[in-house]
Amino acid sequence: MANEPKDNSGQPSRGLHELYAEDPIKADELVWDRKTDEGSRRGFLKRGGLLAMATAIGASIPFSKNMPAGLIPAAFAQSNEPFAIPGKEGLVILNDRPLNAETPPHLLDDEITPAKHMFVRNNGLIPDASVLDPASWTLEIAGESCEKPTTFTLAELKSRFKHHSYQLTVECGGNGRSEFAPAASGNQWTTGAVASPKFTGARLRDVLEACGIKKDAVYIGYYGADLHPSGDASKAAISRGVPMSKALEDETLIAWAMNDEDMPVLNGHPLRLVCGGWPASTSGKWLKKIVVRDKIHDGNKMAAPSYSMPKYPVAPGTQVPDEDMEIIGSMPVRSLITFPKTGITHQLGEPLPVRGHAWAGDLEVSDFYVSIDFGTTWQKAELRAPANRLAWQHWHSELTFPEKGYYEVWARAVDSEGQAQPMVVPGWNPKGYLNNACHRIAVQVV
């Protein structure tokens, strides 16, 4: 490659993340001379490698023998990407056409996510501001399993139906995709494609029941005003949906407000669907039409491999037939450390407060743990109940460190059915969905 960076000898050079994305075990050996123990899957650092890693980090690593193989130290995972999105502060832009941007974890520390820190995920182009007029906005309810197809103005929705407010967690199905190897195509989300704001609107159930739901209804689908990236007006940028059981839940909303203000343009103004706990792609933005279907909705991005997982475990890099894929439903248990920010320096002998959020799709989080020795031992953290069903939950703890050096704080949630976050990246899949591995931050104790 003509523009590939060169080292001092003129040979092509590659970055740490690029090496690990290609082959993490080989990168371990190449960068740190770290060998993998096949029995424990821990990475054994020879003296030279340990010195190299400690030198690069700037401190000794007391629990180095516990560090898993194929893992980039969190100290090197920070990003200094600039941002420039009106109405959003501190977001890291992954793509500008369509616009996609994620939120660094330390900016998700608020209990209720403010609009300025809510991630932006698009499959198409954002509608022109001139068409996003609440005064003329309409929502059509139709489909073969709708008894009385009806079109509502936004004002009619607000006046005719009871208002409901819920804090709801929405997360991109590809959140964490950047950690899969071999890499999956698509935006390389790290941990910040998640948010939990308060939404206000009408229950989807109330609106659908007003229009009549036929007995053969099995699914709903949505259509928005966003444009297909090709510019072809006959194509939907994305049109996904959910089974009727999810559509008729109390918390599934047709929402016009977020955090008691008008919905931000980048998050679906003036009207959007919100299906908390499921992939955010089911929460259609700039909502113009909902169809009640007598079959699984067949809109754009409903067919495999989009938002689908293999029905069985596969080896990394496997070509999985579409018929062996199934649509993603409830998201898996996951968590974030939102305080402190990764890379901090901490004084030995002083307790370190840590905190963050945890969520589990349609379920609740029942227990929470933190570790400072790469997951060998775990300390139970205090966990609060959610504000309402499908809101994320807050946890906090205090940590002490035995000696000076480099540490990683790992966080692990357990859901109400006993499923715990995996310590490292879970089952590889072709599109890089549902990575719910433990979040970790770097701490230098001095």
Q: Is the dihedral of CA 12, 78, 411, 65 positive or negative?
A: positive
Whole-number Å distance between alpha carbons of 19 and 25: 10
Contact between residue 361 and residue 277 where contact means Cβ atoms under 8 Å apart? yes
pLDDT tops 60 at residue 157: yes
pLDDT tops 90 at residue 28: no
- Considering only residues 348 and 33, tell me which one the structure prediction assigns the higher pLDDT: 348
Which residues of the chain are in CATH 2.60.40.650 domains? Answer: 334-445
Q: Span 235-260, mean pLDDT?
A: 97
pLDDT of residue 445: 97
- Considering only residues 266 and 71, tell me which one the structure prediction assigns the higher pLDDT: 266
pLDDT of residue 198: 98
Which residues of the chain are in CATH 3.90.420.10 domains? Answer: 100-327
Q: Span 134-154, mean pLDDT?
A: 98
Q: Is 192 exposed, middle or buried (0-12, 13-18, 19+ CB in 10 A)?
A: buried
CATH number, domain 100-327, options 3.30.70.1350, 3.90.420.10, 3.40.50.620, 1.10.10.10: 3.90.420.10
Phi then psi for residue 18, to 5 deg, are -65, -40
pLDDT of residue 444: 97
**Lowest pLDDT segment from 84-98, 251-265, 266-280, 305-319:** 84-98
Phi then psi for residue 206, to 5 deg, are -60, -40
pLDDT of residue 30: 72
Instruction: Work out the pLDDT band at 83, boundaries 50, 70, 90.
Output: very low
Q: How far apart are the first and last CA of the chain?
A: 43
Q: Chain-wide mean pLDDT for the chain? A: 90
pLDDT tops 50 at residue 7: no
Q: Span 191-205, mean pLDDT?
A: 98
pLDDT tops 90 at residue 201: yes
- pLDDT > 70: what percent of the chain? 92
Q: Span 261-284, mean pLDDT?
A: 97
User: pLDDT tens for residues 87-122?
Assistant: 888 898 887 778 899 999 999 999 999 999 999 999
Helix (H, G, I), strand (E, B) or coil at 354: strand
Instruction: Work out the pLDDT band at 15, boundaries 50, 70, 90.
Output: low
Q: Span 181-192, mean pLDDT?
A: 92
Q: Span 383-407, mean pLDDT?
A: 98
Total-model pTM: 0.86
Instruction: Work out the pLDDT band at 9, boundaries 50, 70, 90.
Output: very low
**Lowest pLDDT segment from 90-94, 134-138, 218-222:** 90-94
Q: Span 164-184, mean pLDDT?
A: 96
pLDDT tops 80 at residue 188: yes
- Considering only residues 10 and 260, tell me which one the structure prediction assigns the higher pLDDT: 260
Q: Span 279-290, mean pLDDT?
A: 98
pLDDT of residue 185: 86
Q: Span 269-298, mean pLDDT?
A: 98
pLDDT of residue 87: 86
Whole-number Å distance between alpha carbons of 3 and 183: 22
Whole-number Å distance between alpha carbons of 197 and 391: 8
pLDDT of residue 16: 67
Phi then psi for residue 194, to 5 deg, are -150, 150
pLDDT of residue 95: 78
pLDDT of residue 14: 52
Instruction: Work out the pLDDT band at 154, boundaries 50, 70, 90.
Output: very high
Pairing of strands 352-359, 138-142: unpaired
Q: Span 379-408, mean pLDDT?
A: 98
Phi then psi for residue 143, to 5 deg, are 105, 155
Asked: is 334-445 a CATH 2.60.40.650 domain? The reply is: yes
User: pLDDT tens for residues 331-363?
Assistant: 999 999 999 999 999 999 999 999 999 999 999
Whole-number Å distance between alpha carbons of 110 and 129: 29
pLDDT of residue 361: 98
Q: Span 308-325, mean pLDDT?
A: 95
pLDDT of residue 115: 97
Contact between residue 75 and residue 343 where contact means Cβ atoms under 8 Å apart? yes
Instruction: Work out the pLDDT band at 77, boundaries 50, 70, 90.
Output: low
**Lowest pLDDT segment from 33-37, 216-220, 427-431, 442-446:** 33-37
